[in-house]
Structure 1
Amino acid sequence: MTDAGGPLPSPRAVAELVRAPAALTVPGDTLAGAAAAGWPFGAATPVLALSSTLLYWAGMALNDYADRDLDAVERPERPIPSGRVRPGFALGLSAGLTAAAIGAAGLAGGRRALGVAVPLAATVWAYDLALKATPAGPAAMAAARALDVLLGAGTGRLRDALPPAALVGTHTLAVTALSRREVTGGGPVLPATTLAATGAVALSAAAWPVPRRGQGRAARLLRQAAGAGLLGSYLSTAGRAQLAAVADPGADRIRRAVGAGILGLIPLQASLAARRGALPAAAAVAAGFPLARRLSRKVSPT
């Protein structure tokens, strides 16, 4: 089979293009936001999680399309510069996935969901095509992940989802800033700053109040224990790699710290959901963590 300009890429090449395993870090955003807002979309919430996943894949494909000339010099093994994926295919795939993501959001939540999904899609495209290499790049990426959390709440319950959105956004801001040194490496200050941000996010998440209404003491303690355990996993995953990058801020250690920071979003999201009493959702998100770690050894999440 062929596209308009040549053979279709292999499934492996497409998986690398969209960073397929890293998509396991995405549904937890929407679920954490939904849990904080009281599940305003009910049974349709998983469709919103699918929407955010599709948009993440769209952003990854668009990222490689936009960076194809730079990658030809710095990362020639990537799908486009290696010739395994044509630029036109990557752009078309990104557009198609974006349209599918917006359609899924509209189907699940109507105008309330589209009120977040459309700005989220616009932020993803603006980041990849215009903002990534500018000083505003990390903030734009952080805004995209924060909007991803707010997608679970929709325009009607945004206020309730602001705390987890701020925490996920702060984590993303720090990891994105660190990712700018994946190729060149750098001094210890940047990974140390990222490590401090990770600690601040964990402390803030631990201080986020557990709702008292409609629950007994035992239920609150269970939620607190689950949230604390998952936060410990977050700190261990992201913080340990960042500490290693402080000691040796070469490109390889920084790249590992960035990858660990991406994967560390999963226990963070699960912790935020658990603290709002959504233990089944937290368990579902956390269940993806070992799979994401295993798959990341085959397809890089960065």
Structure 2
Amino acid sequence: MSREESVALFEEQRRVLTAVAYRVLGSVADAEDVVQEAWLRWSAVDAAAVRDPRAFLVRVTTRLAIDRLRSVKARREAYVGPWLPEPLGGGPGVADHAELAGSVDLALMVVLETLTPLERAVFVLREAFGMSYAEIGEVVGRGEQATRQLGHRARDHVRERRPRFDVDRRRHREVTERFLGACVEGDLAALMELLARDVTLIGDGGGRAKAPLRVIESAGKVARFLLGIASPANARRFLASAGLPEDIELRVTLSEVNGAPAVLAAVGGRPAMMITLDVTDGLVRTVYLLVNPDKMSRLALPDPSESA
């Protein structure tokens, strides 16, 4: 097999490999590093002797992702404040990751962070890619029965922490629109109507931007915090903690992140803050606030015609 044919075979699988690595790692940068390392492994073997290139590459990529997740977990434990996965939004800037952006919401990604690296890999390969436990066992180096037990434990763990999934995207968008309107208008009563009594707010500034260092709990506290940063003046001051001038243009719009509606604020022509909601039965259960500039670069800028 020629080098050109070997490269073509790998490129055919690149998106799938990136999708696997992203789900296991929650970081596009780490996923891309893993896929690059998988390419180096692929380029060192005789591709013509590989009976099933896709299975081979998925196995290599998954094992590399497991190893990397084990190493980055220590870094995430030392992270300043809560850690949220790196989001993906639609648009030209992330066209290469379209499969990823519409396939796994951030709320689920947050729950996956509570699994062990091996449980997470098994869950991802089973639930997202429909692989059999026998196939997954070959990937992770476990017997079929042991792999099945890992999968069941992971699934039970996910259901325990997120027992219900609101799959009505239209309703999710409606709630997000009302949420944005209430925040922009400073309407406490309207905002409280949307929040579950035990709602939580998780903020990620990563030490690079101002964000709550602890989870905010209860509807009253979450609502007061949101209204405190919602006015244009307060929002500029809040975002200035990321090094952005307070007097530059602020635009807020509804966008789409990981296949779900999100509030995206752009300051000076670049995304600076993202809010996504975990909605169940029409109520907001969790608010995810991301202002870490290191995680905003892959989000598409909002269209000015859609600005709120």
TM-score (norm 2): 0.29
Higher-Rg structure is: 2
Higher strand share: 2
